[in-house]
Amino acid sequence: MGSPLDNFLNIFSKKAEDSAVGIDIGSSSIKVVEIKKRKDRAVLHTYGEISLGPYAGVEVGRATKLQPTQIVQALSDVLKEANVSTRVGAISIPMRSSMVAIFQMPVMDGKQLAQMIPIEARKYIPVPIGEVSLDWFVIPKNPNDETDDKQRKFVEVMVVAIHNDVLSDYSNIASTAQLQTSFFEVEMFSTIRAVVDSTDSAPVMIIDIGASATKVYIAERGVVRDSHYINRGSQEVTLNVAQALGINVDFAEKLKRNYGFNEPKQDQLLKESIDWVFDPVFSEIKEILLDFQRKNNKIVSRAVIVGGGALLNGLALKAQSKIEIETVNGDPFSKVESPAFLADVLRQTGASFTAAIGLALRKLQEMG
């Protein structure tokens, strides 16, 4: 799997450039995206994906739980196969391995706030504070929101907690793979950066459909306001079809990816499986949407579907009919420059690379 951009890049100067790779380690695959900074523009250099199933002795598309050594092997393979030219980058942390809380604190100076937040966070983090690493920031007030005197005396703080064991595992993975990582980031923040414009005035819902789970985030002005985890993903469609047709999982996965263009009997079975898996998921998402709008007295403007499951033909339209707001597939590659001949391919596959692009964008910005 050589880089699809090799020939395109040969026309550019050979001078040294800032370059960063974003690495999204999911349950069924690893995605990598390398971007370069050229005259204050982010330019796509290469990207790649590798399935983790074979490393666990199971089929392509299956969710896995690999040992760190197996993850390092898969990561090394995809970096090599995609011709990634840098080892400077960042890695995503799965949402299931993190905890996020938003709460109010009295207005105080930065030093006092830093002392008080870990104490207050104990009320919201359901594990001993000593077992996690905390990061936090004050959420800027929306200048368009009406505030009274009481509200002006408080600030909203977002706290992110990640288990120390998880950070240790990812640090070891990065070190063994010879990566230079200055940060790890929970996947939802990377995803939001890649598909949401911080200038959007209305809240936006992001529906991140993976192999084993569906994550739902609501962002306002680029900041997470709500997040949920649903234990159902696109892998269930594949497994149901494999069982119903008496075929292996690899072939069922190919049928799923070709949904709408298979034999009528196969597509009908796929439709029934998609309905069975995703109707309850979208029903739960609609409840999340209505609850957010009711509590915050704000209308969510639209939903963006990302993740590998977003590649399922017609899923965005199905979601739109169920949750009853405009729903589109995410296009994270629109945040970077790329050759015109890749435009259609990137639009079709981009939704699964969302977190990787968001990571690379942050790293490139950090490099100045």
The domains found in the chain, sorted by start residue, are 1-87+331-368 (3.10.20.370), 97-164 (3.30.1490.300), 198-330 (3.30.420.40)
Residues of the chain with pLDDT under 50: 1-16
Q: For 209, list phi and psi in degrees, rounded to 5.
A: -100, 110
Helix or strand run (H / E) with residue 291 = helix 264-296
| Residue 263, burial from CB neighbour count under 10 angstroms (0-12, 13-18, 19+) | exposed
Q: What is the pLDDT of residue 110?
A: 84
Q: What is the pLDDT of residue 146?
A: 64
Q: What is the pLDDT of residue 1?
A: 40
Q: What is the pLDDT of residue 59?
A: 86
Q: What is the pLDDT of residue 147?
A: 63
Q: How far apart are CA 223 and CA 157, in angstroms?
A: 11
- In the block, tokens 């609501």 appear at 218
C-beta of residue 358 within 8 angstroms of C-beta of residue 192: yes
Helix or strand run (H / E) with residue 235 = helix 235-245
Q: Name the pTM for this structure.
A: 0.90
Tens digit of each residue's pLDDT (9 = 90 or more) over 260-315? 999 999 999 999 999 999 999 999 999 999 999 999 999 998 999 999 999 999 99
Contacts 24+ apart (CB under 8 A), 140-146: 140/221, 140/223, 142/220, 142/221, 144/201
Query: Could you say which DSSP state residue 199 is in?
Result: T
CA distances (Å), 306 to each of 58, 269, 330, 351, in order? 25, 24, 5, 5
Q: Can you give the C-alpha Rg of the chain in angstroms?
A: 21
- In the block, tokens 């950066």 appear at 193
Q: What is the pLDDT of residue 238?
A: 94
